[in-house]
Amino acid sequence: MAKPLKVGLAGLGTVGTAVVHLLQSERDKLTSRCGRPIEIVAVSARSRGKKRGVDLKKLRWVADPAALAADPGIDVLVEVIGGAGNPAKRAVETALAAGKPVVTANKALLAAHGDKLATIAERHGVALNFEASVAGGIPIVKTLREGLNGNSFTRIYGILNGTCNYILSRMEQDRISFGECLREAQRLGYAEADPTFDIEGHDTAQKLSILASLAFGTKVDPAAIYVEGISSITLADLDAAAQLGYRIKLLGVAVRTEAGIEQRVHPTMVRKDSAIAQVMGVTNAVTIDAEGLSPITLVGPGAGGTATASAVVADLADIARGVRTPPFGRPVARMTAVRKAPMQRHEGGYYIRLLARDRPGSAATIARRLAQRQISLESIVQRHEFQPGSNGQPGRSGDPVPVILITYATSEDAVRKALAAVRRDRVISGRPQVIRIEKN
């Protein structure tokens, strides 16, 4: 039998510990599949004395992750420290420059430095594998990079953040507010103490930048992504969506257009009968549109130690078998700069919720402003039920009336300009709620 693949593991948090457990518990099966054992021989972590529930007695400890990466006693580095900067960045660069393949689960590092790291890996002829960086246990990187590398992609979109999907699912199913759902997600460990990175869409944007690069051959560029979060979504929006046959999800979407690659993260209305609308709770899903194929949707756990460790170990198995592909599916020299499609040119249907002032001419003014921008309406719903007043009691006659508009395909620019004019006319109260509708 071939000699073991010796692994240095940087990071012993939830994911790192799960990787140790999986390699130890599945040792014989992995050896049979790969033709050689995969063994962790050295680790680096901040706390050596912490109880982690796995056997670490036989492993060497290295204080500095970069020193671990340079250690001649390891063949491959697994980086699960996290973060876009050091020590993760230095450790990965050190390993690649030393001619050692790297497996990482670090989406932030790849989003910030993916092109540079891919260049180093290519220069030294080693693998840079990162299946675990996007959508946890879903094999989306391998699917795009290898499984469908003969296809031309037109669109890729998905639910890439379990925290947001959990919150929107709970709000809809249990009829509780965004704030209450967020506190519950924090209590259960689905959301961080500071949840901004998740709920404002930035986590999804980092993952989308990686998927867009794999799908379209562009350089990784999170700055090219338009980002909105879910904090503005209310029960009124979820109710209206349900009545109209939709469900609201936070999606990351990358699509090829005549103007360039449109990349966007925002709350989105999807048809209830679509595959992605059925995905609830902390689960992730990714849909791929490719020429000559019906849409393919992959669904699975997007986070958690076991799911992420599964992806890490799959990448290690490829290295053990001698499989190596360009990190982003093609040589770095053939990756192109992102030609960003301006969000103002986005075209599609829109859900618009307004609070119209209860006075003659309000509806006519709204309709006129939309018509001036050539916005056609598929449906108009004016809700006459009592609305709560400022004291929480039912509203009175004369209070603003919710009006819900569903448009046919139009442009982002037209919608924004029409609503700006409506606000200047002072026929609505507050800011309009605008949610894009994604074709499924």
Say if residues 167 and 181 touch (Cβ distance below 8 Å): yes
Residues 271, 349: Cα–Cα separation, whole Å: 12
E strand or H helix at 40, and its extent?
Answer: strand 38-44
Question: pLDDT tens, 400-439?
Answer: 899 999 999 999 999 999 999 999 999 999 999 999 999 8
Nearest to 211 by CA among 150, 162, 254, 266: 254
Residue 207 appears among annotated catalytic residues: yes
What is the percent of the chain with per-residue pLDDT over 90, rounded to a whole number? 85
Q: Give the pLDDT of residue 1.
A: 65
- Say how far residue 167 (Cα) sits from the centre of its chain: 15
Would you say how long the chain is, in residues? Answer: 440
- Say how far residue 120 (Cα) sits from the centre of its chain: 26
Residues 337, 324: Cα–Cα separation, whole Å: 24
Say if residues 138 and 298 touch (Cβ distance below 8 Å): yes
Check pLDDT > 60 for residue 394.
no
Say if residues 52 and 9 touch (Cβ distance below 8 Å): no
Nearest to 323 by CA among 59, 57, 76: 76
Residues 9, 226: Cα–Cα separation, whole Å: 35
Among residues 89, 107, 207, 249, the one annotated as catalytic is: 207
Q: Give the pLDDT of residue 386.
A: 37
- Among 167-171, 244-248, 379-383, which stretch is predicted with the lowest mean pLDDT? 379-383
Contacts of 162 (CB under 8 A, 6+ apart): 190, 281, 282, 283, 284, 301, 302, 303
E strand or H helix at 94, and its extent?
Answer: helix 88-97
State the angle between helix axes of 27-34 and 305-320 in degrees (0 to 180), rounded to the nearest 10: 30
Helices (H), 146-229: 162-174, 178-188, 196-199, 202-216
Composition of the chain by helix, strand, coil, percent to 5: 40, 25, 35
Mean pLDDT of 277-289: 96
Check pLDDT > 50 for residue 390.
no
Q: Give the pLDDT of residue 391.
A: 42
Residues 160, 404: Cα–Cα separation, whole Å: 28
Q: Give the pLDDT of residue 275.
A: 94
Residues 288, 157: Cα–Cα separation, whole Å: 7
Please, what are the domains in the chain?
5-137+307-334 (3.40.50.720), 141-300 (3.30.360.10), 344-437 (3.30.70.260)
E strands in 29-180: 38-44, 60-61, 76-79, 102-104, 128-129, 153-159
Q: Mean of the per-residue pLDDT values for the chain?
A: 93
Q: Give the pLDDT of residue 151.
A: 92
Residues 425, 420: Cα–Cα separation, whole Å: 9
Q: Which residues pair with 4 in a beta bridge?
A: none
Q: In the structure, what pLDDT confidence band is assigned to residue 387 with cuts at 50, 70 and 90?
A: very low
DSSP string, 354-380: EEE-SSTTHHHHHHHHHHHTT--EEEE
